[in-house]
Amino acid sequence: MPAITGPKVVVIGGGTGTFTILTALKFYARDITAIVNMSDDGGSTGILRDELGALPPGDVRQCLVALSESDQKMRDLFNYRFDEGTFGGHSFGNIFLTALEKTTGSFADAVKTAGDILNITGHVIPVTLIDSQLVHTHTDGTTTIGQHAIEMSRFKTKDRPDLSLKPQAKLNPEAKAAIECADIVVIAPGNLYTSLAPTLLVEGMSEALAETKAKVVYVCNLVTKPGQTDGFKVHDYVCEIERFMGTKLVDYVIYNQRQPTAELLKKYAQAGEYAVEFDDAAVARAHYEAIGEDLVSDAIPKLKPSEKLIPRTLIRHDSDKVARLIMRIYFS
């Protein structure tokens, strides 16, 4: 089978949303660079950061697995999570990346080595190599520190949150170079304030996005997050994305225009989550082009017998449809 060629694509984000985009995108483009959030401090990643002083491996691991062309057993190995014992809660891939960081003395080298082992398509690059934390400064001057703590909190007012990185992280030079020569830059769906914000707030990111000649595409979330994005419509997400970047840089927005089933929406509503809606009038005044299609996946996630099905995992993007839309924008 001949190699698939295509544009130079950069995907910015972290977590499940980025994993979803990369999983299908690798079948349409070979030159892919995932620039990954480095503020994760929850679960296995948080323990490795606290106890070993390691940089956060969790989101990087997911991107490596998404771009891997190794057999399913190898991908499953990197995602395998121990259920009990000393390693209970840890994924093998997180431990492996941390061990590589310790033996090579460089997290960047660890990621490259893991990429070679997993035979990935393209590149996975940490957005920064500086160990920093996400900070939410409240209107009364108090702060909430750490991605996980902020993710679990509900904002007290409707004011847009004041977020920062401390110490201030600087953009990885490799990430900057990838953005500069990209044909299309995709801001992946994900938690707006704890996955996308800490990636876009890195010093040098907004400048790199402003200078690139690439088309900048944002793939909007499917559902709102209670206590943080209640009532947000598509244009509200874009406004926040551009607030983090400090200027209007988004060229295209991809959003879902098909409502999930009433049964699914009811399950989400019980958790205070609702489908993101679209305001035609607001977008008509915008500087970007919005493209809406049926983007909800009909596939049900496969879980291990020990895993519990969480209702909020049932509404996901159809990764192939999103990838094809991204390619359509590139060729337009």
At residue 68, the pLDDT reads: 96
Range with the lowest mean pLDDT among 14-18, 261-265, 272-276? 261-265
For domain 8-16+129-331, give its CATH number from 3.40.50.10680, 3.90.180.10, 3.40.640.10, 1.10.287.810.
3.40.50.10680
For 100-112, what is the mean pLDDT? 95
Q: Could you tell me what percent of the chain has a pLDDT over 70?
A: 93
> Which of 302, 277, 271 lies closest to 290 in space, CA to CA?
277
Domain ranges of the chain: 8-16+129-331, 39-126
Residues 6 or more apart whose Cβ sits within 8 Å of residue 275: 222, 223, 224, 256, 259, 260, 265, 268, 315
- Name the CA dihedral angle for 157, 12, 67, 64, rounded to a multiple of 10 degrees: -70
Residue 314 is predicted with a pLDDT of: 65
Comparing 47-61, 130-144, 289-303, 317-331, the range with the smallest average pLDDT is: 289-303
Instruction: Write down the pLDDT at residue 1.
Output: 37
Residue with token string 């993007």: 317
The 3-state DSSP class for residue 79 equals helix
The reported pLDDT for the residue numbered 216 is 98
Which pLDDT does position 310 carry in this prediction?
A: 45
Q: Which two tokens stand for residue 286?
A: 């915008």
Q: How confident is the model over 251-267, as a mean pLDDT?
A: 86
**Average predicted confidence (pLDDT) for the chain:** 90
pLDDT for the residue numbered 182: 97
Q: What is the pLDDT of residue 83?
A: 86
Amino acid 2: pLDDT: 45
Q: What are phi and psi of 16, to 5 degrees?
A: -65, -35
Question: Quick one: pLDDT band at residue 259, thresholds 50, 70, 90?
Answer: confident
- Please give the structure tokens belonging to residue 206: 């907004």
What is the structure's pLDDT at 61? Answer: 95
Under the banding of pLDDT at 50, 70 and 90, the label for residue 184 is very high
User: Over the stretch 48-91, which tens digit does the pLDDT of each residue have?
Assistant: 888 888 999 999 999 999 999 999 999 999 999 888 888 878 88
159, amino acid identity: D
* Higher-confidence position of 216 and 307: 216
DSSP letter, residue 129: S
From residue 265, give the alpha-carbon distance in Å to each of 191, 220, 249.
19, 18, 32
- Cα(103)–Cα(116) distance, integer angstroms: 16
Joined together, the tokens standing for residue 301 give: 């996630």
| Tokens (6 digits) for 207 | 């400048």
Q: Report which residue type is found at 214.
A: A
